[in-house]
Amino acid sequence: MNSLTRTENQALARTVLELDVNNHAGVMSHVVGLFSRRAYNVEGILVMPVGSGATSRIWLLVNEDERLDQMVKQVEKLEDVLAVRRHGAEHEVFVRLEEFFV
């Protein structure tokens, strides 16, 4: 599907989304489903429980396009999403992971 080269891909404007969610088996499906059914690719994804494990944090790396504002609003509507924060591509959460993807 994605015919962009790695360098081209990296040149696209990126956004990092940080989601606080309830930690249960269905929550990833809910979040990712919003993107997949709009054919909006999620470039990177990272999830870990926080604190006691009742909630998790999901980090998403997505390309910016004109649908992003609508995407964020849709994510905010999910029952199990407690908060959404937007960061620029300079956010280092995925950058620091790059060593695992060489």
Partner 1 sequence: MPKQTPETLTGAQIVVRLLERQGVRTVAGIPGGAILPIYDALSKSEIHHVLARHEQGGGFMAQGMARATGVPAVCMASSGPGATNLLTAIADAKLDSIPLVAITGQVPKPMIGTDAFQEVDTYGLSIPITKHNFLVGSADDLLTVIPRAFRIAASGRPGPVLVDIPKDVQNQLVDVDEWPAPGCADVVPPPDGELIERAAAMINAAAKPVLYLGGGVVHSGAAEAAVALAQKARLPTVMTLMALGAMPVDHVLSLGMLGMHGARCTNLALDECDLLIAVGARFDDRATGKVAGFCPQAKIIHIDIDPSELDKIKTAHVGIAGDVRTVLELLQPVIESPQRHAWLARVASLKADHPLRMPGIDDPRTPYGLIRAVANCLDDEATITTDVGQHQMWVAQAYPLRRPRQWLTSGGLGTMGFGMPAAIGASLAEPERTVVCFTGDGSILMNIQELVTAAEEDVNVKIVLMNNSSLGLVFQQQTMFYGERIYASKFKGMPDFIRVAEGFGVPAVDLDKASDPLAALAAALATRGPMLIHASIAMHEQVLPMVPPGAANKEMIGG
- Provide the binding-site residues for partner 1, judged by CB under 8 A: 25-26, 29-30, 33, 37, 69-70, 73-74, 76-79
- Judged by beta carbon, residue 35 or residue 59, the one nearer partner 1 is 35
Contact 98, 40 (CB under 8 A): no
Smallest separation, CB 59 to partner 1 (Å): 21
- Judged by beta carbon, residue 16 or residue 71, the one nearer partner 1 is 71
Smallest separation, CB 24 to partner 1 (Å): 9
- Judged by beta carbon, residue 32 or residue 45, the one nearer partner 1 is 32
Smallest separation, CB 70 to partner 1 (Å): 6
